[in-house]
């Protein structure tokens, strides 16, 4: 299970209000321990999806490599889940789907940087083509998944870039569902939270 600490969260610039909200829930940062590992699943439970995704950027150092892998795969999951919003409008356009699959293959070491870059450009063009908010968001989420994977070769920015891309894809996925109903949007957010928890629980 990935974890962070109060010290790392504060150093990373945690929102003071959300920091205090979580600290109160666990009995106070001082009482809990500023360097005691906090499972991200606990942050998800108490503070919700947005804060748990934010916390990916400040996991304990020895978990950074697994955090990057999880972030990239999570971005792919989120993009794939709303891909039907794009494919219903453009049933023959496989570019977003192929972008997501290329990103997953790259994480597994089965795709080259060149293949990843080509897929990212294709996903970006698909997003530019979309003429509805839902389709645009779905294609943009696929593009975000590519950007998450490309963070693997983004030198010193890799750690935070992967986490940011996962959060960006999640936000776009949630926004896309507003093309339907508020209830659908809420359901999407719940699915995203469950998927994050599944990914976190799968970490050795």
Domain boundaries, given as residue ranges, for the chain: 3-58, 64-197
The model's confidence at residue 153, banded by pLDDT at 50, 70 and 90, is very low
For the record, the structure tokens of 52 come out as 């748990």
Under 8 Å between Cβ of 59 and 3: yes
The pLDDT tens digits for 175-199 are 665 555 566 667 778 888 999 999 9
Under 8 Å between Cβ of 82 and 138: yes
Give mean pLDDT, residues 66-88: 84
Under 8 Å between Cβ of 80 and 146: no
The pLDDT tens digits for 38-75 are 999 999 999 998 899 889 889 999 998 898 888 888 88
For the record, the structure tokens of 32 come out as 């809990």
Residue 28, pLDDT above cutoff 90:
no
For position 169, what pLDDT does the model report? 64
The model's confidence at residue 154, banded by pLDDT at 50, 70 and 90, is very low
For the record, the structure tokens of 55 come out as 């916390």
Mean pLDDT score across all residues of the chain: 82
């Amino acid at each position: 299970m990935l974890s962070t600490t109060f010290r790392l969260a504060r150093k990373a610039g945690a929102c003071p209000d959300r920091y205090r909200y979580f600290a109160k829930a666990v009995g106070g940062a001082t009482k809990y321990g500023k360097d005691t590992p906090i499972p991200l699943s606990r942050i998800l439970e108490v503070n919700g999806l947005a804060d748990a995704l934010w916390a990916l950027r400040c996991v304990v150092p020895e978990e950074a490599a697994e955090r990057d892998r999880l972030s990239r795969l999570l971005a792919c999951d989120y993009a794939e889940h709303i891909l039907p919003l794009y494919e219903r409008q453009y049933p023959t356009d496989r570019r977003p789907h192929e972008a997501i699959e290329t990103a997953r293959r790259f994480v597994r070491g089965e795709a080259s940087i060149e293949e990843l870059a080509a897929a990212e450009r294709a996903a970006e063009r698909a997003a530019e083509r979309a003429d509805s908010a839902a389709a645009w968001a779905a294609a943009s989420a696929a593009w975000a998944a590519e950007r998450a994977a490309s963070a693997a070769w983004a030198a010193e920015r890799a750690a935070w870039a992967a986490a940011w891309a996962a959060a960006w894809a999640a936000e776009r996925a949630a926004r896309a569902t507003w093309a339907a109903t508020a209830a659908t949007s809420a359901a999407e957010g719940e699915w995203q939270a469950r998927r994050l928890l599944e990914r976190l629980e799968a970490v050795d």
